Amino acid sequence: MPNDWIVEERCPQCGGPVSMHEADRILTCAYCRVRLYVLAGNALPKYCLPVKPAPIGTIVMVPYWRLRAHRYRLLPSGVEPGAADCTAIAADVPGLAPSLGVRAQAVPLRFATPAAEGRFLPATRPPDLVFQQLERIRRVEQGLARGPRASEEEATTPSEATVTTASSLVYTPVRVSARSVFDAVLNRRIAGIDADRWKNAVPEGDDRPAPVRFLATLCPECGWQLEGATDTLVLLCVNCGRGWRAGESQLVPAPFDVLPADGWTPDAHLPFWRAGARAAATWADLVRLVNLPRVVQPAWEHEPLGFWFPAFTAHPEQFLRAAQTLTCARPGRPVAAAAEQAATPADEARASLQPRKCQAVTLPETALDEALFVLLATLGRARRGIREVLAAADLHVHERRLVYVPARFNGRELVNPELGLTVQTRQISAFSSRP
Ligand SMILES: [Zn+2]
Ligand SMILES: [Zn+2]
């Protein structure tokens, strides 16, 4: 996998060397076989590039964002999905490169801990700024490359929306001596800047990382070994059927629902976030907000609306299509008597869930506000001035719940025929866990 960074650490249980992918949340030790959930401070994973020892100077750790995102260009002619995977400097510091380049792929990362050497500069440039900058660069490049017509279309609709699927901070060490400033990974002098100018320019403060905690992946309720791929945010218990996610210092309950399959046996379950927002609390609200081509029925005024977003790893196009499909299919909406035959469909659905055949939950809840904007903007593309309408609406997701949607494997893709959902399996993470 390109841009898949490696973190090298010591196993907290036996001290053996372990390596994990930067996106992983679960550390597995090849020596003592322990599986531990890695809990970084404040949910934002922080890593350091290693300091090369030297007898002079003091170390300053400079933060860079590592951001992965779905990017959608909202053009009058349609939606153009794309992906971003980038690093960008997160503090205003002179003399350093705007991105880490290939550096973090060449050198293994370590967890940032309070015991690390040096002063940690606070991250003062927010990720939005990074994405705005990316868009400016792209426009300049494409405006030149694609001729006046393309840039004219863009000028009338300056529209690019982002769903941040993963973010972390990666610190690179800088060594400051009495006179010079050095890149402390290689101990190479940074040209064009002297120590006095640097010291005056860099921000104050020491944003020391919180301790990294390692949590046993045992069910806090029943003690059973929890199931989940190494990059999952939610672990499931085979024994008691509960879900768990990382809280501030321990695993806390992650309640979820399971949609029933209509008379067939699921091969897998796909996790979705079902989100509620005040901007469209009912199905009738949504039809009006984005001008869906439907006549509002009186019952729709009372039908609570959920927005559905894939919580599993999906490509940008797949993500948007699945969100549109499920939101408009309105799973779980009140239906006629025919569906009431099963006495307790919810219990039966729960019983059909096999934790080992659930896709990993990788989309953080923090991405839902952005995802809601993208979904509404694309559903309402035909409505004039949709972006102005949305800018004035309350697009904050105020409730969310994890829902597992059953799917059947047809040899090539996972499908849910009732909902019209089709997911290419090559577009989602390996069937149950990373190889
Ligand atoms: Zn170990
Ligand atoms: Zn349990």
pLDDT in tens, 140-171: 776 655 555 555 544 544 578 899 999 999 99
Start-to-end CA span in the chain (Å):
12
DSSP-H helix ranges across 334-385: 345-352, 368-379
> How many C-beta atoms lie closer than 10 Å to residue 222's C-beta?
12
Ligand 1 centroid from CA 51, angstroms = 25
Q: State the distance from the centre of ligand 1 to the C-alpha of 109, rounded, in angstroms.
A: 19
Q: What whole-number percentage of the chain has pLDDT above 70? A: 89
Task: Identify the three-state secondary structure at position 74.
Answer: strand
* Nearest ligand to residue 13 Cα: 1
Q: What is the pLDDT of residue 300?
A: 92
The span from the CA of 431 to the CA of 435, in Å, is: 9
- Could you give the dihedral angle defined by the CA atoms of residues 181, 185, 188 and 191, in that order, rounded to the nearest 10 degrees? -50
Alpha-carbon dihedral sign for residues 111, 116, 121, 122: positive
Report how far ligand 1's centroid is from the alpha carbon of 31 (Å): 5
Instruction: Say how many residues make up the chain.
Output: 435
Alpha-carbon span 417 to 401, nearest angstrom = 23
Question: Mean per-residue pLDDT for 249-275?
Answer: 93
CA of 242 to the centre of ligand 2 (A): 6
3-state secondary structure of 337: helix
pLDDT level of residue 3 (50, 70, 90 thresholds) = low
Q: How buried is residue 312: exposed, middle or buried, by Cβ count under 10 Å (0-12/13-18/19+)?
A: buried
Cα–Cα distance, 100 to 89 (Å, whole number): 8
If you measure from the C-alpha of residue 219 to the centroid of ligand 2, how many angstroms do you get, rounded to a whole number?
A: 5
Ligand nearest to the CA of 30: 1
Cα of 224 vs centre of ligand 2, distance in Å, is 5
pTM above 0.85, yes or no: yes
Which token pair is 12? 């907290």
Rounded to 10 degrees, the C-alpha dihedral 332/338/344/349 comes to -50
E-only strand ranges, 76-140: 78-89, 110-111, 119-120
Of 393, 391, 432, the closest CA to residue 409 belongs to 432
Phi, psi values for residue 13, rounded to 5°: -90, -50
Å from CA of 21 to ligand 1 middle: 17
Q: Which ligand is nearest to the CA of 224?
A: 2
Among all ligands shown, which has an atom nearest to the Cα of 31? 1
Question: Could you give the residue ranges of the DSSP H alpha helices within 157-268?
Answer: 195-201
Residue 11, both tokens: 């196993």
- What digits encode the pLDDT tens for the residues 298-341? 999 999 999 999 999 999 999 999 999 999 999 876 554 444 44
Query: From CA 52, how far away is CA 175, in angstroms rounded?
Result: 10
Ligand minimally distant from the alpha carbon of residue 220: 2
Residues 237, 258: contact at Cβ < 8 Å?
no
Ligand closest to Cα of 241 equals 2
**Closest-lying ligand to the alpha carbon of 236?**
2
Ligand nearest the Cα atom of residue 240: 2
pLDDT of residue 344: 59
Report which of residues 101 and 233 the model is more confident about: 233
* Overall average pLDDT of the 238-257 stretch: 92
pLDDT reading at 395 higher than 80: yes
Residue 17 Cα to ligand 1 midpoint, Å, equals 8
Question: Rounded to the nearest whole angstrom, what is the distance from the C-alpha of residue 20 to the centroid of ligand 1?
Answer: 13
217 Cα: distance to centroid of ligand 2 (angstroms) = 11
Closest ligand to the CA of 11: 1
CA atoms of 314 and 326, how far apart (whole Å): 15
Distance 8 CA to ligand 1 centre (A): 13
Tell me the C-alpha distance between 431 and 146, whole Å. 40
